[in-house]
Amino acid sequence: MFTIGDHSFEVSLYRMRLENRPKAHKIARAKMKETGFEFGNAITSTPSTHSHIQVALSKTEGAIDYAALLYLEFAQHDTEKRLIVEQHETHEFVFIRIVDGMIEDDGIYTTNSVQQQLESLQNFRKEESWQCTIIGDVDEKIESLLAEFTIIERAKSLRTKIKGLPENDRLFSRVRLLPGKYALKGRPNIRQTNTKLAYTAVSVFVLVLVAVITYEPEQESFIKVIDEYKEYKSTIKNTISPVPRLKLAHNEQLLMLTSLPGWDLLEVSINPTNTIYTMAESTVGEIDTLYKWAYGNNFIVMQSDNKYQLIKNGMNRAVYQGEGAEIPLVNADEVLNSFRDAVRLYVPRATVTVQRDVPVKDEGWLKREVVVQLSGHFKEDLVTIANIIKGGLKINVDEQGDKIVGLPIGLKQAHYTIDDQELVGSLELIIYGRN
């Protein structure tokens, strides 16, 4: 929370993505009740089609969503990848990352933290083309790193303008955090047609610049992309990939290990909405240290039954991304065998078992729920499993030749405990494929 003149602003909000249809406000209200966030706002993410809504939730009434304000001002018409960077008088930075017309990350960071994130984008997501808006003057060190990206705009700060505006100014109306019953109603961009939930909760992506030596296998399965099975394609487009969630869990465990003194990570729970890290205080741990660290790294802290939990929204992506993504429909047995063989080879002692099959009538495909059992494994094994899924299939796309795509595997949930850095627990995944 920070102020400009008489106005209060908030960043690092809980964010989710909904299809722009009439039940969107009901879904958001249900999430508010579940999480305890009483206030929120909603803006459309793609003005050309108004196909999705970004919903931000908070516990602070009347504050203004600063990331959404800058998004509407500088990046609303973008569907590509955009960074917005603004340096404050305190020498901290507002750093916003936008992907596919949606705020994927927003927060206030130190110079070192912004430097780390920019270097991580260059190293881990260098295949992605990032455009950048720089607001005002920034530190020379950050300026030199931003030069590696495509700088498309250098904008003047809105701070002078904001200071002179009244509370009811139109600039604030769409991004002010209002009580639940007002937060979504009356928004002009929320359509009144039927709905289907297709949300992706997003949040801060804390990237740790580390070298993880893991094998990224390529499983060969020659299949042809089928342009049928509409329900299958629709389902898989809205299915959360386990790949970024597992890699993020690895990175955040390493971050806690190296930068949070006096506290031990006991267990991790991953669900489609967020990741929950349960912490234990050691003999030298201090509660104040935990809260300061959590604030600096954009975690929400909750206390329950004498335990402290650090909660972060899921950094979610679809299994197959983009409008033109090739979506393979391969036999479910083939996917299972390919995945199981790779896990046996590269993650020794981990087992893959089938829980049940859920056929989809008249469509010729099914959802196969599987469990990966971990026992005495390490955080690096999470990255290896993610890489197995990421590079799992070689497909033949008509006359275009072969193309590598990920295995059609989605995330259901995961839970594991940690003892002396060893992981014990399970990853619950869903395989999509032909009967």
149 and 218 share a domain? no
Nearest-Å Rg of the Cα atoms of the chain is 22
Q: Per-residue pLDDT for 390 more than 80? A: yes
Range(s) of the domain holding residue 344: 210-435
Residues 388 and 430 in one domain: yes
Q: Is residue 204 part of a domain?
A: no
Q: Are residues 231 and 373 in the same domain?
A: yes
Same domain, 144 and 286: no
Residue 236 backbone phi and psi in degrees, to 5: -65, -30
Q: Which amino acid is at 384?
A: T
Q: Do both 331 and 373 map to the same domain? A: yes
SS3 426: strand
For the chain, how many structural domains are there in total? Answer: 2
Task: Give the strand pairing for 7-10 and 64-65.
Answer: parallel
Band of the pLDDT at 28, cuts 50, 70, 90? confident
CATH code at position 140: 3.30.420.260
Assigned token pair, 316: 């979610």
For 234-250, the pLDDT digits (tens) are: 788 778 889 989 999 99
Show Cβ contacts of residue 174 under 8 Å, excluding neighbours closer than 6 positions.
41, 43, 68, 72, 187
The pLDDT assigned to 221 comes to 37
Of 364 and 342, the one with more pLDDT: 342
Q: Are 104 and 214 contained in the same domain?
A: no
178 and 240 share one domain: no
Residue-wise pLDDT tens digits, 267-299: 999 998 889 999 987 767 788 888 888 888 888
Residues 160 and 86 in one domain: yes
Q: Give, in degrees to the nearest 5, the angle at Cα 30 between 24 and 34.
A: 145
Residue bearing the bigger pLDDT, 424 or 30: 424
Residue 93 lies in a domain: yes
The C-alpha atoms of residue 208 and residue 249 are separated, in whole angstroms, by 11
Mean pLDDT of 148-163: 87
Question: To the nearest whole number, what is the mean pLDDT of the chain?
Answer: 78
The torsion defined by the Cα of 268, 271, 275 and 280, in degrees rounded to 10, comes to -30
Q: What is the DSSP string of 359-380?
A: EETTTTEEEEEEEEEEEEE-HH
In 11-103, which residue ranges form alpha helices assigned H by DSSP? 24-35, 66-74
Measured CA distances, 324 to 120, 122, 207, 231, 240 (Å): 27, 25, 28, 17, 18
416-423, long-range: CB < 8 A, 24+ apart: 416/267, 416/268, 416/374, 417/266, 417/267, 418/253, 418/265, 418/266, 418/267, 418/268, 421/257, 421/378, 421/379, 422/376, 422/377, 422/378, 423/374, 423/376, 423/377, 423/378, 423/379, 423/381, 423/382
The reply to whether 103 falls in a domain is yes
Residue 7 bridge partners (DSSP): 4
Residues 246 and 140 in one domain: no
Do residues 25 and 113 both lie within one domain?
A: yes
Please tell me the least confidently modeled range out of 87-91, 286-290, 310-314. Answer: 87-91
Which position has the higher pLDDT, 321 or 149? 149
Closest CA to 94 of 191, 1, 194: 1
Look up tokens 């829980």; give the residue. 355
One domain for residues 79 and 6: yes
Residue at 199 is within a domain: no
Burial 111-150 (b: 16+ CB within 10 A, else e): eebbbbbbebbeebeeeeebbbbbbeebeeebeebbeebe
